[in-house]
A and B are shown apart, each in its own frame.
Chain A
Amino acid sequence: MGDYPSRAGPYSGQGSSANLADILERVLDKGIVIAGDIQINLLDIELLTIKLRLLIASVDKAKEMGIDWWEHDPSLSSRASEGSRSLREENRRLRAEIEALREGEELPRAEDEEEDEDVYEEANEEADEEEAPPAAARRPSHTSRTSRPARTARTKRAEPGPRRKRRDEP
């Protein structure tokens, strides 16, 4: 192929001078994987790569979270720790709301909700205690496993549920 004349130039820069971390990253983690006859098989290579990440790159976050991942890492930014706390809270609230909406479709009656709440309280203290719980109680006992703030969210839920219903039926 004739279109490689300029290649020799740029390439000479890399070679043996390249940083070992950069090389290992590429030769171990990139490139085509073909099972050879000597089976340091894929699993082994994966394990090895994981081990090497301790040497090279132990954090997968940049990839997962995009370029602003450090914003969410409390150890890197005090702002982030506040941010992530409120995020966590918001997340909880949103989950609870979704749950509420979901249940709102199926079985919310104001009374049920209260019962619900009571069982929830108990379940929260002694999750193992309940035997043959009524169908309505089953769900809360799951929720109890998450954490307390969910409860406040649930308390809120008791109102929006029915109200929403009403709005839907003019």
Chain B
Amino acid sequence: MTEAITYAYAVAQDAEGSLEEALSGLPGVADGPVHLVRAGHRGEVVVAVGPVPEQDFEENALRAHLEDLDWLESVARAHHRVIEALAARTTVLPLRLATVYLDDERVRQMLDARQEAFAERLSVLAAHTEWGVKIYVEAPAATDRPAAPPSDADLSPGRAYLSHRKAQRHAREDAYREAEQVAQRVEAAARSYAVDRVQHRVQQGELARGPGENVINDAYLVPLEYGESFRADVLRSAEGLPGVRVEVTGPWAPYSFATPPEAEPLKRAAP
């Protein structure tokens, strides 16, 4: 039997004291249970934590594990699952993956030291959710285009090829131009609901493989009551432009807004 250490998922507001119940039976990272750590006796700000095996989360092991996509995926999904469960009930500040403490007491000390800052951010984010908006250009690929049109019959093969290439290139350019239009419309639509926005890097790697090329990857902070209108309006922005696809994901817990924009890099917990 190995020692357990404490994995911290998120900071949350527990005004009604009902969160503990929401977490019961929910499998966390490494299938461990999840519970709350409170500061002092009357804190409404809590940290969701759970035991994880030390052998998997001590420094070297963790570093090695994080390179393992399967391991990483299971931890990431468990982390996300807990945060979603909390977000369904209350306001949360997700912590970054793999924030690990020696024991619950150390988490409590951290919470004591930062309680006010947490409470402040929680009140800003209360009753807001995050929505992801991605725009994809589905530029026609070479294989998507029909064979040379009949008018090309007169042309030599070389010219036919070139004119074909030219047509392809124009189609691509059109698609990018349309994407730009859509981006403007999306932004206008989104701004009428959102209170904040962050721009993420576009997704381009192996995991992001899908139809089209991601050219915009933003997150918006939207008041809870406007969520569905936000989604509908943003999706409507791409209508009529077939080369461009808009994808809306959410609602998310406010991952992208948990740290206030102008926050100083890292305040160490006071000793």
Contact = CB atoms under 8 A, between A and B. Distances in A.
Contacts of A33: 95-96, 99, 259, 266
A60 B90 contact: no
Interface of B: 5, 8, 10-11, 13, 15-16, 57-59, 62-63, 66-67, 69, 72-73, 76-77, 79-81, 84, 87-90, 93-102, 106, 110, 114, 126-127, 129, 132, 137, 169, 172-173, 176, 179-180, 183-184, 187, 199-208, 215-217, 224-225, 227-228, 249-252, 255-256, 258-259, 266, 268-269
Interface in A15-69: 15-16, 18-40, 42, 44-45, 48, 51-63, 67-69
B215 A62 contact: yes
B266 A21 contact: no
A69 B15 CA distance: 45
Given A28-B76, A35-B266, A8 B88 contact: yes
A125 interface: no
A36 to B, nearest CB: 5
Nearest to B260: A32
Contact of A7 (B88, B132, B137, B266): B88
A10 B93 contact: no
A1 interface: yes
B169 to A, nearest CB: 6
A42 B84 CA distance: 25
Contacts of B266: 33, 35, 42
Contacts, number: 206
Contacts of B62: 38, 40
A57 B202 contact: yes
Interface of A: 1, 3-4, 6-8, 10-16, 18-40, 42, 44-45, 48, 51-63, 67-71, 76-79
A71 to B, nearest CB: 7
A58 B259 contact: no
Chain B CB count within 10 A is highest, among A15, A18, A30, A69, for: A30
A45 B66 CA distance: 9
A32 B200 contact: no
Nearest to A1: B15
Task: Output the residue of B98, B184, B203 with the most chain A CB within 10 A.
Answer: B203
B208 A18 contact: no
Contacts of A54: 205-206
Contacts of B256: 26, 30
Given A10-B129, A20-B76, A21-B208, 12 more contacts: A6-B224, A7-B87, A7-B88, A8-B88, A11-B84, A14-B251, A25-B201, A27-B255, A38-B57, A56-B201, A59-B204, A69-B215
Contacts of A13: 251
Contacts of B94: 26-27, 30-32
